[in-house]
Structure 1
Amino acid sequence: MEGQPHIEPRNQDQMDSEREPAEDEWKSWQRGQVRNTLHLMSAAAQWILLLACLIYLGIDSLQPSTPRSEEVLWTHIRYTGESIKGVDINLTAEVGSIQIQNGSIMITHDGLYLVSLKGRIHFPDPDELTLTLWKTGKTTGSALWEQIVQDSGNAVNLMTVLYLFEEDNITLRTSSNATIADLSFSLALLSPFICSL
């Protein structure tokens, strides 16, 4: 054994001191791996949540919207028939969401209403006739609009916006006996009044 170089045996302290930096490096690397894994899991969870939100919004946007006819209060009336002097014409709704009771249009919301009225009036008297859009409230009644018809068979035409109140009743009447032909009467709520307390 003389030809071999003499190797001193390492003492335990020297080996421990060399092993400590290696163990510290190994523990640091493991902590880094755990941290990276947690970051990866967090990013994956965020992407899944984002994807779920986008799917929800996409499905919600594909839902059919509520038709405008269900949102707006309106009515359309067609009438052909006789009217008696000073008596309300017995109106009945052809279509719409505003109720008509006993020939009167029942207003259920305060607000601006678009009113359209067209038709022809025939009357036997040589005098003129007045067609009146009448409003009856809780205690009083008043004319909202009047048109004088001078010749039998003339057309009446109204397109206006009126502010009407809840519990008003709207009717039509003539100042003399007449025959009304192809009356088209429409009423639609444009903007409801919202009371702020």
Structure 2
Amino acid sequence: MEGQPDVKPRNQDQMDRNREHAEDEWKSWQRGQVRNTLHLVSAAAQWILLLACLIYLGIGSLQPSTPRSDRVPWTHIRYTGKSIKGAAVNLTAEVGSIQIRNGSIMITCDGLYLLSLKGNIFFHGPKEEDLLNLTLWKTDNKTSRALWEQTVWVSGDAVNLTIVLYLFAQDNITLGTSSNATIADLSFSIVLLSPFICSL
């Protein structure tokens, strides 16, 4: 009879342990279910995205193919020569479909353009002239404003620009310097990324 009181606490401890074990298993099962649901949702989203890409590619392949130069306005310029203070650099296109007139790049389509410009500047002014501004200008029917400007401190310094800009049809893009200089190994590219209104 003396041993019986110990049986109840032992049974109670055993039941508590069993209950805790069952609760742990239940929580673990619930976490597994949540994880499985997340995996399922992620897989479904990936399949939907893949299907959308395939549909997009399929529609694109059904359209008649056009040479890239006809579809996307672009130009690439290589230039080495003199620039005169206050005058546009006399750029001419090496390749591309965007026209250049009197050194101005003629924009014919509204949209986002990627511009890339690299080169070196050599001063022609007196020795005390220790800096020069290279400026990319945008001119429309009414106004002219600077799109980008880099100050060159030392003769022979490299200039480097990569930028995305929204340009409008009828805009003209020119390049100029604040002093007489020589521009060497200039590489200047412009390409339309997203056309909105195009009158090619």
| Structure 1 and Structure 2 fold alike (TM over 0.5) | yes
Equivalent residue for 2:135, pick from 132, 151, 166: 132
TM-score normalised according to structure 2 size: 0.64
3-state secondary structure, aligned to 2:124: coil
- Separation in structure 1 between the aligned mates of residue 164 and residue 150 of structure 2, nearest angstrom: 16
- Separation in structure 2 between the aligned mates of residue 69 and residue 75 of structure 1, nearest angstrom: 9
1:83 positional shift:
0.4
Percent of aligned pairs sharing the same letter: 76
3-state secondary structure, aligned to 1:163: strand
Equivalent residue for 1:187, pick from 183, 190, 195: 190
For 2:174, the equivalent position in structure 1 comes to: 171
Runs of 4+ in 1 over 6 A off after TM superposition: 61-64
3-state secondary structure, aligned to 2:109: coil
3-state secondary structure, aligned to 1:193: strand
- Separation in structure 1 between the aligned mates of residue 192 and residue 63 of structure 2, nearest angstrom: 26
**Number of residues of Structure 1 aligned to a counterpart in Structure 2:** 135
Which runs of no fewer than 5 residues in structure 2 stay unpaired? 1-60
Cα deviation 1:31-82 (Å, max 9, x = unaligned): xxxxxxxxxxxxxxxxxxxxxxxxxxxxxx7998323232110001111000
- Which structure would you say has the larger Rg? 1
| Counterpart residue identity of residue 154, structure 2 | D
The correspondence of residues 81-92 of structure 1 with structure 2, limited to 5 A, is: 81-92=81-92
Pairing 1:105–2:105 present: yes
Give the direction of change, closer, same or farther, for the CA distance of 1:97–1:146 in structure 2 (3 Å limit): same
| Counterpart residue identity of residue 170, structure 1 | I
| Counterpart residue identity of residue 83, structure 1 | S
3-state secondary structure, aligned to 1:66: coil
TM-score normalised according to structure 1 size: 0.65
| Counterpart residue identity of residue 157, structure 1 | N
| Counterpart residue identity of residue 148, structure 1 | T
Equivalent residue for 1:145, pick from 123, 144, 148: 148
- Separation in structure 1 between the aligned mates of residue 110 and residue 88 of structure 2, nearest angstrom: 23
